């Protein structure tokens, strides 16, 4: 039997790190990344897709490795000039980054789909791994807070995740359809579906809630593996742990497992959380306890290999 | 009698130089610049107004003084990245320049007029002189050539003025209306109307041909003075001399005077063209022979003073 695809669901930075590791271990045609588009928004009249772009920049080796977002070798003259014009400056857009948003906005205006645009960009920047937005329709994640609802980027960037979260909405998701490219891959007998260590509430959930996506994952025989974004009670990056606390849920890998319960066959958790393995197993999940903190490329490749080892173990044990 | 306004009609670089000189000699509220918008075009989904922007950058002291276009201290990361995406790169857009186009495109999309946007930008950058686009409707200069019609920026930038010119069209001009701000100023008894040393065919003519503009100039008692963009048979910058030759007209100040004949009361010509003064006078025009080549700021101020001296001379001689 020829090997199937590994389909990774990804948000921004955390997910992109594991995806980069996987891309070093798998041939291009065995890896597909389905990206969250709930963070996408219009700013300065341009369509900006932060999670998809982080995956693109990471796989094209164009990402700024220290900042964790945007492009390396970036300049900031546009923002400086925008500020001198009294324009909005809460969302930092690099000059090179802007080229991607301008190109995408024009292509969408010409009637191209977000999938088409993403494929064109990948081709231009020699990305062999297929990057697939969760859907081609606009979905807007809204963060419900004690002081009112906020568009995701207002919560995340402008207000720096300060407001206390009470829930989430994904506006437009009922009118969206899971990307047919992703559905087709899910129907072709993939080897595994990986929920990367991105935020469960605002990165992975929007993908899973896109109509058609979760049923297609459930219909597949492939094992579904989640890599915990929570390590030792904290999020490696972003507001996941803070959100969990504010939602009245302890910020632990056990709670991440509970959140994914019913869909996920196995959890990959960090060694520091090893003591919670048996509680997760009690939920009916397999557990792999490995180092999950990805600092350098070696860490990313090592975690990718650990995840693929788990895939082999689960597959040899038979269909889930 | 309180002094009236000096109303300068301007294209890009040449006009902006004289306008800068005038701005150093006149109080802000005595100078109005009416800019050519026939060069305006949409590129990358953004509204770009080259002549108006050159006047803005010049008066805000933001212009690149060596290149003759764009901003000083500019960066080019957007273009570099656009090129890496396979995007169009024939029109160089600096990263800071882009901020102006993005801001303007958004404001126009919100329903603001080009006049309003220009006023906002002037305010943000502390430009006291009033800059007024010739009209708020879109007019597109088309250059007719032996090999077909070209949008102005395609002729001017992409094809570097190589095609042989046979004529000009100003698309949309019949549906345009001269800017009411300019018409109001023309009706208020200005001191003079100056045709700056910009290209007569593609910078000054579109302004004059905007419905309502020329009748308002003709109805005014103020002297109309043209500063020749042709010096010694050549254009200081741009294709004016080349266009004249291709149109079968000798590239001389005499021909510029003939072109403006019936509207202009006086020509300001360079010393090198002094031998043509009497021929111009034979057309019924006054002539002022002075140094007109503006290299440094001192030259611009000197020419502005010479022009204003001519204004005083013409006014003391009585209404034209």
A107-151 per-position pLDDT tens digit? 999 999 999 999 999 999 999 999 999 999 999 999 999 999 999
Please give the C-alpha separations between residue B260 and each of A297, B207, B284, B317, in angstroms, as whole numbers: 70, 13, 12, 21
Contact yes or no for B95 and A77 at CB 8 A: yes
Of A78, A100, A125, the CB nearest to B99: A78
Whole-number Å distance between alpha carbons of B297 and B59: 12
DSSP A63: B
Residues of B in contact with A99 (CB under 8 A): 77-79, 81-82, 84-85, 87
pLDDT of residue A319: 56
Neighbours of B100 (CB within 10 A): 31
Q: Is the pLDDT of residue B233 over 60?
A: yes
Whole-number Å distance between alpha carbons of A62 and A97: 10
Tell me the pLDDT of chain B averaged across its residues.
96
In the sheet where B148-151 sits, what is the strand order?
B148-151, B140-145, B165-171
B267-300 per-position pLDDT tens digit? 999 999 999 999 999 999 999 999 999 999 999 9
- The reply to whether B95 touches chain A by the CB within 8 Å rule is yes
Residue segments in chain A with a per-residue pLDDT below the cut of 50: 320
Binned at pLDDT 50, 70 and 90, residue B79 comes out as: very high
Nearest to A39 by CA among A142, A114, A116, A118: A142
pTM for this prediction: 0.94
Nearest to B235 by CA among B197, B277, B267, B279: B197
Is residue B204 helix, strand or coil?
helix
Mean pLDDT computed over B217-243:
94
pLDDT of residue A237: 84
B244-256 per-position pLDDT tens digit? 999 999 999 999 9
Residues of A in contact with B106 (CB under 8 A): 44-45
In terms of DSSP H, where are the helices of A60-94?
77-84
pLDDT of residue A230: 96
pLDDT of residue B68: 74
Tell me the shortest Cα–Cα distance from A94 to chain B, in angstroms.
Answer: 9
Rg (Cα) of chain B, in Å, rounded? 19
Contact yes or no for A44 and B125 at CB 8 A: no
Binned at pLDDT 50, 70 and 90, residue B2 comes out as: low
Mean pLDDT computed over B118-130:
98
Of B44, B80, B102, the CB nearest to A44: B102
Rg (Cα) of chain A, in Å, rounded? 19
ipTM: 0.93
Q: Is the pLDDT of residue B41 over 70?
A: yes
Whole-number Å distance between alpha carbons of A55 and A14: 10
- The reply to whether A45 touches chain B by the CB within 8 Å rule is yes
Nearest CA in chain A to B42: A106
Q: What's the gap between Cα B270 and its chain centre?
A: 19
Whole-number Å distance between alpha carbons of B28 and B167: 37
Interface size A-B, in CB pairs within 8 Å, comes to: 100
Tokens representing B124?
Answer: 């943000």
Tell me the shortest Cα–Cα distance from B234 to chain A, in angstroms.
Answer: 36
Q: Is the pLDDT of residue B236 over 90?
A: no
Whole-number Å distance between alpha carbons of A181 and A196: 19
Contact yes or no for A86 and B124 at CB 8 A: yes
pLDDT of residue B85: 98
Residues of A in contact with B87 (CB under 8 A): 99, 103
pLDDT of residue A318: 67
Nearest CA in chain A to B118: A85
Domains in chain A: ranges and CATH: 6-44+135-158+167-316 (3.40.50.10680)
pLDDT of residue B66: 82
Phi, psi of B35 (to 5 degrees): -100, 150
Contact B160, B142 (CB under 8 A): no
- Would you tell me which residues 148-207 of chain B have a C-beta closer than 8 angstroms to some C-beta of chain A? none
- The reply to whether A77 touches chain B by the CB within 8 Å rule is yes
Binned at pLDDT 50, 70 and 90, residue B182 comes out as: very high
Whole-number Å distance between alpha carbons of B148 and B144: 6
Whole-number Å distance between alpha carbons of A153 and A157: 5
Residues of A in contact with B89 (CB under 8 A): none
Of B75, B84, B102, the CB nearest to A75: B75
Residues of A in contact with B86 (CB under 8 A): 124
Q: Is the pLDDT of residue B104 over 90?
A: yes
Of A45, A73, A77, the CB nearest to B96: A77
């Amino acid at each position: 039997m020829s090997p199937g695809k590994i389909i990774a669901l990804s948000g921004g930075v955390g997910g992109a790190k594991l995806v980069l590791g996987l891309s070093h271990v798998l041939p291009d045609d065995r890896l597909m990344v389905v990206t969250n588009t709930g963070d996408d928004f219009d700013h300065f009249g341009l369509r900006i897709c932060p999670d998809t772009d982080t995956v693109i920049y990471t796989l094209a080796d164009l990402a700024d490795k220290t900042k964790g977002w945007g492009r390396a070798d970036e300049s900031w003259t546009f923002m400086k000039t925008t500020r001198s014009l009294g324009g909005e400056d809460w969302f930092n857009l690099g000059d090179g980054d802007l080229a991607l948003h301008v190109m995408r906005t024009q292509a969408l205006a010409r009637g191209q789909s977000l999938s088409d645009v993403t494929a064109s960009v990948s081709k231009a920047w020699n990305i062999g791994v297929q990057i697939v937005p969760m859907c081609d329709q606009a979905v807007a994640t809204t963060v419900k807070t004690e002081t009112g609802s906020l568009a995701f980027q207002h919560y995340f960037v402008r207000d720096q995740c300060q407001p206390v979260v009470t829930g989430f909405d994904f506006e437009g998701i009922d009118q969206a359809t899971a990307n047919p490219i992703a559905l087709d891959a899910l129907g072709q007998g993939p080897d595994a579906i990986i929920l990367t260590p991105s935020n469960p509430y605002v990165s992975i959930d929007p993908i899973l809630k896109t109509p058609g996506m979760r049923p297609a994952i459930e219909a597949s025989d492939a094992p579904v593996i989640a890599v915990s974004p929570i390590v030792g009670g904290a999020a490696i990056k972003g507001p996941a742990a803070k959100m969990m606390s504010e939602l009245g849920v302890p910020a632990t890998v056990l709670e991440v497992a509970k959140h994914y319960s019913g869909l996920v066959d196995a959890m990959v958790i960090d060694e520091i959380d090893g003591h919670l393995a048996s509680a997760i197993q009690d939920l009916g999940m397999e557990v792999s306890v490995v180092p999950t903190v990805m600092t350098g490329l070696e860490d990313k490749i090592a975690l990718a290999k650990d995840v693929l080892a788990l895939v082999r173990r689960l597959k040899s044990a038979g269909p889930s």
